[in-house]
Amino acid sequence: MWIKKFLSFFTLLLTFLLFSPVFFSGEDVPQYDVLIKNGRIYDGSLKEALKADLALKQGRIVKISPSLEDRASRIIDAEGLFVTPGFIDLHTHVDEGMYFPENRACLNFLTQGVTTVIVGHCGASGWPLVEKAEDQMKRWAEEGIGPNSALLVGHGDVRRIVMGEEDRAPTPEELEKMKSLVREAMEQGASGLSTGLIYVPGNFSKTDEIIELVKIVKPYGGIYHTHVRNEGPKLIEAIKEAIEIAEKTGVPTHISHFKVLGKENWGKVKEACQLIEAARSRGLKITADQYPYQFSSGYPYRSLIPRNTWLGGNGKEVLQAEDLIEVFDNLRDSELIEIYKKTTPYYPFSLNHEEFLKNLSHKRLVQLVFRSFGNVTQILQGPENFKERMLFWQRMKNPEEGSTIREEVRNHIEKNLSGAENVIVAICGEKELEGKTLKEVAEIKGKSIEDTAIELELMGAKCIPFQMCEDDIEYIMKKEYVGTGSDGTSPFYGIGLTHIRSYSTFLHKIKKYALERKAVSVAHVIRSQTSLPAEIMNWKDLGWIKEGYRADIAILDLENLRTETSISNPHVYSQGVKYLIINGELVIEEGRYTGKLPGRVIKLKK
């Protein structure tokens, strides 16, 4: 009996010693969490890639050396691959999609190598109108997100809360309320203020109103991101306004999706850049971002027949937005709130949400309920609306009206869509026409441009105007103060039509403009997507491959980058990111998502 007890004791003792760290020399204990070996590193500077190893521990880069032979819990062999800082997207609208747990990973951005996104742009805050910044931050921190996220407070939402959608200047009392809301968001950790001066209600504001609100973010070290007031014929005036705001507030000012739209305006970006560079030479912090595509808008498909031309004088004969607003205006507030509850995506419906609605005036409640229906009136318009289609055909039968319609369509295509040679058929029942220009389709069919356009419209074809030119895109891209911003969303995969920038911006920029066109170097593109955005946002531990920096790292196969998303089929994930590490954790491994949500909310500290 005593022999069995002795043997049992001896076995336990031996097991303890074998698995005790004391039993081993220090060399046997993993020194690092992750060791990346044999990769070529673009560190975020303009230097060419250098071969080196790097070690990660507790979410940080702790060692970089030509060769590391230390032990690690995980070793990644990056032979033949390129190691870069994780990409930082300066301009996104992913917050709306990321509200839903299903989309919290933001996979369409992870597969591009994006590890950090900035949300709350173009005047729409990075959180629902009925909530506060801290609500979104708390939700994401507790439930997890894919990429790191920084949030901006939106001027448009602030104005809408205080003034609704009224086209007037705020009263002194209203301006103070708006300032208070901006201040509250900054206190809760927002990174700055955004404007959308081309959208309702931002377009109702004057420059002095924006200046007063931008001043609020200055004590916090915040930034001002602006969708400028005009990106077409008045681009220069819009850039001057942004510079004026920077001068009068002392706040770093960032121009979102820098571009010029319309064939007649191509080339104006050079004068705009001269203004920016003159301001920078005076010590102003003016920067910009761009997405590298010739077409714009989250939904880039455009009608070939203008709405006024399509309806003619029959506007009162068909359903318009004003009709729905009138219907809602005749309902009681309690009825409006019940309708809103059935249409809002924000679920579950909180007491704070209901209290917010009850404090709105009847007029503003009507506006909010109408907006909760999204683009319902647009869905009910156009060739799929049988009544509108019948009225259009009746007018086409009249020789005089038919001639007027054709002339208006021709002018619309030339003046508003940059010409038939720049309009691309994206989706069409006649599949052989997809990818061809409207001009080419007209030649194939042996018809005039306008008759071809009308035929395509009536068959439900989706067309995209290329309203930016490659010369302008490359001119902007070469500027050392221009970073990368996708302007992308986080859509439900496969649902609806979206701009391909949501799936491909970062790898497309490397592949097309550095590797293929050689307009800029790979190092230049990497910098525009890493260290430059970090500098713009004043982040001291992101955007570089340096010891002590956050372990946000992309490992790319530059020889096999694939961005197969297209205007005919936008929902296609990019390929070429072999590994993606966020805060030290692998989120993409061998090109596949690991299911982890290691992203953090980046709060601005006062």
Say if residues 428 and 441 touch (Cβ distance below 8 Å).
no
Strands 577-582 and 223-227: unpaired
**Maximum C-alpha span of the chain:** 114
Give the pLDDT confidence score for residue 489 in this predicted structure.
Answer: 97
Give the pLDDT confidence score for residue 11 in this predicted structure.
Answer: 52
Give the pLDDT confidence score for residue 324 in this predicted structure.
Answer: 86
Say if residues 310 and 388 touch (Cβ distance below 8 Å).
yes
- The residues facing 575 across adjacent strands are 562
User: Which of 480, 473, 543, 545 has its CA nearest to residue 509?
Assistant: 473
Within 8 A by CB and 6+ apart from 524, the residues are 46, 478, 514
Boundaries of every domain in the chain: 87-296+468-539, 307-465
Torsion sign across C-alpha atoms 249, 250, 251, 253: positive
Give the pLDDT confidence score for residue 60 in this predicted structure.
Answer: 98
Residue type, 8: S
| Buried b or exposed e, range 388-420, using 16+ CB within 10 angstroms | beebbeebeeeeeeeeebbebbbebbeeebbbb
Say if residues 501 and 109 touch (Cβ distance below 8 Å).
no
87-296+468-539: CATH architecture: Alpha-Beta Barrel (3.20)
For residue 273, the surrounding DSSP H or E stretch is helix 268-281
- The residues facing 429 across adjacent strands are none
Q: How many CA atoms lie within 13 A of 411 on its CB side?
A: 9
- Enter the DSSP assignment of 86: P
Separation between Cα atoms, residue 298 and residue 487, nearest integer Å = 8
Residue type, 343: T
DSSP assignment of 198-235 equals TSTTGGG--HHHHHHHHHHHGGGT-EEEEE-S-SSTTH
Structure token digits, residue 65: 């050396």
Give the pLDDT confidence score for residue 317 in this predicted structure.
Answer: 86
* Tokens 């204990």 belong to residue: 29
User: Which of 29, 118, 146 has its CA nearest to residue 598?
Assistant: 146
Give the pLDDT confidence score for residue 22 in this predicted structure.
Answer: 42
Separation between Cα atoms, residue 2 and residue 90, nearest integer Å = 72
Give the pLDDT confidence score for residue 594 in this predicted structure.
Answer: 98
Strands 148-151 and 601-602: parallel
Can you list the residues of the chain whose pLDDT is less than 50?
A: 1-2, 6-7, 10, 13-14, 16-25
* Tokens 């800082």 belong to residue: 85
φ, ψ at 588 (rounded to 5°): -130, 130
